[in-house]
Amino acid sequence: MATEPLRILGRANSFNVRKLLWLCDELGLPFEREDWGRGFRPANSGEFLRINPQGQIPVVVDGDLVLRESQAILRYLCLKHGAEALYPSPPELRVRVEQWMDWVAYDLTPAMRGAFLGGQMDEPPWNNEWFVAQGRSDFTQCMRLLENELADGRPHICGEGFTLADIPLGLVVNRWFAVTGFDKPALPHVAAYFERLSERPAFLRHGRNGLP
């Protein structure tokens, strides 16, 4: 019996959907994507809420399994398809991947809401003056931290090899160079990391593709 392709529900210009598209491209996974979210079918419609009561994209449907939360989906796909190099099994290696993924989720996501959604896109409720200023400050602080981490010359965030952690982080770096409206420091190590990621065709298709 033929296996149904993975279904990805979410617009292709979404930051979190692009993480999944990048990973699927890296792994050569076939998928079908459906446009949901801002500008397309609304994610707060009854049809979508029956799939994801949170009303957020992306959602992945893999047979009978329905998953939400982009970071969890990334982990699931690596585990299911045996992507050991991207998501290594030894605890001392996996935890390094996990810590950077969690950093993006918990520290950088609120900062980008202020700096990008509020400050650049002027989207309510993120366009509160205080929230924008705090987001820009926090985004800059996080990127300075990344600059210091990469100063040891490592090619990727967890060392020599490209891992799952580089996917959300690569999209963050892409957004850093795209965001405007405030003074940003020169970060040569982050810039070099950005160029190394840009050697990957999947990143150029889904990350550094003209979208912030």
Q: Looking at the structure, tell me whether residues 64 and 101 fall in a common domain.
A: no
Domain hosting 146: range is 91-204
Among 141, 209, 143, smallest CA distance to 173 is for 143
pLDDT confidence of 2, banded at 50, 70, 90?
low
Say what the pLDDT of residue 129 is.
97
- pLDDT tops 50 at residue 64: yes
Structural domain count of the chain:
2
Angstrom distance (rounded) from CA 21 to CA 33: 9
37 three-class SS: coil
Residues 76 and 129 in one domain: no
pLDDT for 4:
84
- Shared domain check, 11 and 71: yes
- State how far the Cα of 70 lies from the Cα of 105, in Å rounded to an integer: 10
Q: What are phi and psi of 65, to 5 degrees?
A: -90, 130
In a domain, 85, yes or no: no
Distance CA 16, CA 10 (A): 9
Q: Are 63 and 102 members of one domain?
A: no
Q: Which of 49, 45, 17 is nearest to 31 (CA)?
A: 17
Please list, in sequence order, all residues whose beta carbon lies within 8 angstroms of the beta carbon of residue 90, skipping any fewer than 6 positions away.
none
C-alpha distances out from residue 20 to 75, 111, 150, Å: 10, 21, 25
Tell me, what CATH number does 168's domain have?
1.20.1050.10
Residues 152 and 75 in one domain: no
pLDDT score of 26: 98
Over residues 79-128, the pLDDT tens digits come to: 999 999 999 999 999 999 999 999 999 999 999 999 999 999 999 999 99
- In the chain, pLDDT over 90 holds for what percent of residues? 98
Q: In 25-184, at which residue ranges do the beta strands (DSSP E only) sit?
A: 31-34, 59-62, 65-68
